[in-house]
Amino acid sequence: MKPESIIVGIAGALFGLLCGWMLGAQQAGIGTPAAAPVAQAAPAAAPGGAGAQGATAPALDLARVQALEKQAADQPRDADVRTQLGNLYFDSEKYAEAVKWYQASLTIAPRNPDVSTDLAVSYYYSNQVDQALAQFQKSLEVDPKHTKTWLNLGIVRAFGKQDLAGAGEAWQKVLELAPADSPEARAAKQALDGLKAAHPETGAPATGGGPAATTAAPKQGA
């Protein structure tokens, strides 16, 4: 079976589930996506598509943006306000602006794997797949056990690069790190099961989750 066909099969069975995890720090916690990213949103079938959720993006809260931009100008060393701006732009699917503000946040606080992962997802939605993959690696350099990064890395490898073996390795890593009953472990196991069913030579066996605690990705703002 061609890799493209496998991707279609995975997308059909698991796309909604996986998309719900394309998010990083933009969620208040592990579970239901926030207003959109990480899932904030459910990722589009391909970067640069109709949007992370495949539906009309929420309107950008211009008043909130203006207030935060003023705060950012007044507080040049405040990483959190820049993260909040990135979150607002991500939720509205304005990924180029999200990239700018996440980069600004990381310039001030570079060792934040949540923001780094949100930046990687924003790169992906901006059709910068290689940049996204490189940013995920930076997240893992900061926190090698950041399961949300591993899960998203697998999604981008699968949908952005058709690298099914690499996607399987990333999802298997989630199972090694996350508790078996965690949302990340469940998503990774279903992804691996779908991959293995479509292409047994590629899909890694889906074992139970490991003992390591899952890193919650707290939202970096309001």
d(CA 62, CA 81): 15
Q: What domains can be seen in the chain, in order of their start residue? A: 3-198 (1.25.40.10)
* Ranges of residues in the chain whose predicted pLDDT is under 70: 1-55, 201-222
Q: What is the pLDDT of residue 35?
A: 26
Residue 199 region by backbone torsions, left for phi larger than 0, else alpha for psi between -120 and 50, else beta: beta
Q: Could you report the per-residue pLDDT of 24-67, keeping only the tens digit for each?
A: 444 434 333 322 233 333 333 344 444 554 567 789 999 999 99
Q: What is the pLDDT of residue 197?
A: 81
Q: What is the pLDDT of residue 205?
A: 43
Q: What is the pLDDT of residue 207?
A: 40
* Element (DSSP H or E) covering residue 45: none
Q: Of 134, 163, 140, 183, nearest to 22 (Cα)?
A: 183
The whole-model pTM stands at 0.72
